[in-house]
Amino acid sequence: MRRNLGTYQVINWRMPRGNPSNLKRKKAAIESDLEKLALEATVSAKSFVKEYEHALGTQDWSSVAPLISDDAIVIFSNGSLHAGKEAIRAAYQHNFNTIKSEKYRIENVHWLAETADAAAYSFEFHWIGEIEGREASGSGRGTAVLVRIDDCWLLAGEQLGPKS
């Protein structure tokens, strides 16, 4: 029964009738389905890390761009902040042009939080390549935040820093 009270409606709600054990089974089934959905989202978030690592290894922005949200923020180890996809593109392309034949690796990933629509992880990164004809390398730690938009995981934020 509904009663209109101006801009508010009051709905009389009754506990569903039935055997309490049937209700418990239904509740358990719903909780199980929710856990499965969360697991599927987590698996997809975890596959993002490998996809992102591979995309960075191509040194081609067109491979990386689909993995970055429009309003993402990336902070490099030197403290430079790049806000928005266009600023991130410029920074990544500068690195791609500066570091030739780069090999980039992400490892020791630790998941900090995981939901159906957001995830956060910490990781170690390593790179090796050539700068002005000389071998160069670097490594450090990072933290990344992912968001799920239209069933796609995207990088929303990443902060890179030195190993301690």
Has residue 6 been placed in a domain?
no
| Rounded-to-integer distance, Cα 90 and Cα 154, Å | 18
Q: Is residue 7 part of a domain?
A: no
Residue 82, domain extent: 18-161
The full length of the chain comes to 164
CATH code of the domain covering residue 33: 3.10.450.50
Is 8 inside any structural domain?
A: no
pTM of the model: 0.73
Q: Would you place residue 101 in the very low, low, confident or very high pLDDT band (cuts 50, 70, 90)?
A: very high
Residue 90 lies in a domain: yes
CA atoms of 99 and 17, how far apart (whole Å)? 68
- Give a yes or no: residue 13 inside a domain: no
Closest CA to 67 of 146, 160, 161, 162: 146
Residue 131 has pLDDT above 70, yes or no: yes
Indicate whether 123 belongs to any domain: yes
Per-residue model confidence as pLDDT tens digits over 36-87: 555 444 457 889 999 999 999 999 999 999 999 999 999 999 999 999 999 9
Average pLDDT on 114-134 reads: 95
What pLDDT is stored for residue 144 in this prediction?
98
49 within a domain of the structure (yes/no): yes
